Amino acid sequence: MQQVNRALFDEVMVPNYAPAQMIPVKGAGSRVWDQQGKEYIDFAGGIAVNCLGHCHPALVAALKEQGEKLWHLSNVLTNEPALLLAKALVDATFAEKVYFANSGAEANEAALKLARRVAKDQFGEHKDQIVAFKQGFHGRTFFTVTVGGQPAYSDGFGPKPEAIEHAEFNNIDSLKALISDRTCAVMVEPLQGEGGVLPADAEFMQQVRALCTKHKALLIFDEVQTGVGRTGELYAYMGLGVTPDILTTAKALGGGFPIGAMLTTTAIAKHLVVGTHGSTYGGNPLACAVALAALNTVNQPDVLAGVKAKEQLFRDGLRQINEKYQVFATIRGQGLLLGAVLNADYAGKARDFMVAAAEEGLMALVAGANVVRFTPSLVIPDADIREGLARFERAVAKIVQG
Ligand SMILES: Cc1ncc(COP(=O)(O)O)c(C=O)c1O
């Protein structure tokens, strides 16, 4: 029989990832087991995807039920789970219309194409400029990676999509210098995730909103990482006093089943007329059935309040670790999207902390070279947080003691 081990990855997989040596085979709640039976506490959550942990009963039930009814139709037909999920998203947010995709990048691709189309229809071809932010991340299609503010990800693939510029995040003067009546859209994460777990100031966001309105540019919130309860709000915009024109959501939306969505108003949506955009799998019944169960489970006052309470537990635990070992300059982020920023003595070593944590039985993440990132399940038991932090402390101690 074929041996399944890490060496097989190097043999048969395109080398664009560098996964850990261990191969997880089973998960339940916030615990994961590898092929050797070693147990891990999961503070990574599949990078802010597994919002209800692993194999949550409500999601398993929705998947099984839909799996025995209908798997796929294509968008030549609509289906009940897609319509129910769209209705739930519309009821829960500012949006009036929904477009389904399969990932965050695809939801963003739809948002950017829509913004360009709205501007062209209403003002003409010249209104094509898109402004985004340095260090931002919006996905890996060529359009979204170019809108993302990390040239390391977008360089080296030939000519890029044009009329895309980048301002400094949390610096309104920098945006003022770029935005004009030629701008069709401003795309922003309310909290930069991949860029280092950096929240936007509410005042900055309100000024961004005002500038977009002034220049008749659409404000696109990329809530792929922050959406579906991650910050303690169902969507982060709800805590900022700012309403976007278009919002994208993915990751946690499916709780581990691939799905993305673009949300907007009727007046904006009407520009995406029949034939302008599409996807074979977008709105797939299996994905939508699972996402509806995830959304309904997360969008409860006790779950959202729980995110804020668990944030405090994390912050207290990380502060105590730091008092002993002095490794962090600050802890930042919101809800259960938290970043421990390494101080000057440990600059550039985030990966070492992640690897040491895994040795102690804790799955964590990085966000750049200087930030250890935590994006656990939104319903992680407090006892798992405490045990996970104890394991993290052992990892920190190992690094500090060399
Ligand atoms: C803010 C944000 N936008 C978009 C994406 C891309 O999503 P996907 O990997 O599902 O295409 C990510 C992924 O990390 C993200 O964090």
Counting beta carbons within 10 angstroms of the beta carbon of residue 122, is it exposed (0 to 12), middle (13 to 18) or buried (19 or more)? exposed
What does the mean pLDDT of the chain come to? 98
Which of 29, 30, 45, 52 minimizes the C-alpha distance to 299? Answer: 52
pLDDT of residue 1: 85
Percent of the residues in the chain that have a pLDDT greater than 90, as a whole number: 99
Query: Could you tell me the CATH number of the domain that includes residue 388?
Result: 3.90.1150.10
Amino acid at 73: L
Question: Do the domain assignments include residue 1?
Answer: no
Binding site residues for N(2)-acetyl-L-ornithine, as ranges? Answer: 140, 279
Query: Could you tell me the CATH number of the domain that includes residue 228?
Result: 3.40.640.10
Beta strands in 74-180 (DSSP E): 97-101, 129-133, 164-167
d(CA 247, CA 226): 11
**Among candidate residues 278, 298, 318, the one where a domain is terminated:** 298
With a cut of 90, say whether residue 18 has pLDDT above it: yes
Which of 150, 131, 306 minimizes the C-alpha distance to 208? Answer: 131
Domain tally, the chain: 2
DSSP code at position 7: H
Range of the domain at 13: 6-56+301-400
Helix/strand/coil for 293: helix
Q: Are residues 244 and 277 both part of a single domain?
A: yes
- Residue 49 has which token pair? 């995807």
Question: Residue 277 Cα, ligand 1 centroid: separation in angstroms?
Answer: 20
Amino acid at 275: G
pLDDT of residue 103: 98
Question: Do the domain assignments include residue 277?
Answer: yes
Q: What's the mean pLDDT in 29-53?
A: 98
Q: Are residues 261 and 320 both part of a single domain?
A: no
Which of 16, 50, 138 to mutate to test ligand 1, by most ligand atoms within 8 A of the CB atom? 138
Q: Are residues 318 and 382 both part of a single domain?
A: yes
Question: Do the domain assignments include residue 123?
Answer: yes
Q: Are residues 148 and 253 both part of a single domain?
A: yes
Q: Are residues 146 and 266 both part of a single domain?
A: yes
- Residue 364 has which token pair? 């964590």
Q: Are residues 239 and 319 both part of a single domain?
A: no
Cross-strand partners of 39: 33
Question: Residue 225 Cα, ligand 1 centroid: separation in angstroms?
Answer: 7
CA dihedral 26, 28, 32, 38 (to 10 degrees): -80
pLDDT of residue 249: 99
CA dihedral 115, 118, 124, 128 (to 10 degrees): 0
**Among candidate residues 264, 298, 332, the one where a domain is terminated:** 298
211 near 181, Cβ under 8 Å?
no
Q: Are residues 86 and 199 both part of a single domain?
A: yes
For residue 89, give the H/E element and its range.
helix 80-92
Q: What is the pLDDT of residues 145-159, one digit of tens each?
A: 999 999 999 999 999
Atom 3 (ligand 1): residue with closest C-alpha?
Answer: 138
Q: Are residues 238 and 279 both part of a single domain?
A: yes
Q: Are residues 104 and 224 both part of a single domain?
A: yes
Q: Are residues 255 and 188 both part of a single domain?
A: yes
Q: What is the pLDDT of residues 378-400, one digit of tens each?
A: 999 999 999 999 999 999 999 99
Question: Do the domain assignments include residue 160?
Answer: yes
Cross-strand partners of 372: 340, 366
With a cut of 90, say whether residue 338 has pLDDT above it: yes
Question: Do the domain assignments include residue 174?
Answer: yes
Which of 141, 224, 371 to mutate to test ligand 1, by most ligand atoms within 8 A of the CB atom? 224
Please work out whether the CB of residue 393 comes within 6 Å of at least one atom of ligand 1: no
Q: What is the pLDDT of residues 274-285, one digit of tens each?
A: 999 999 999 999
Q: What is the pLDDT of residues 89-134, one digit of tens each?
A: 999 999 999 999 999 999 999 999 999 999 999 999 999 999 999 9
Please work out whether the CB of residue 224 comes within 6 Å of at least one atom of ligand 1: yes
Q: Are residues 259 and 125 both part of a single domain?
A: yes
Q: Are residues 92 and 41 both part of a single domain?
A: no
**Among candidate residues 298, 324, 359, the one where a domain is terminated:** 298
Please work out whether the CB of residue 194 comes within 6 Å of at least one atom of ligand 1: yes
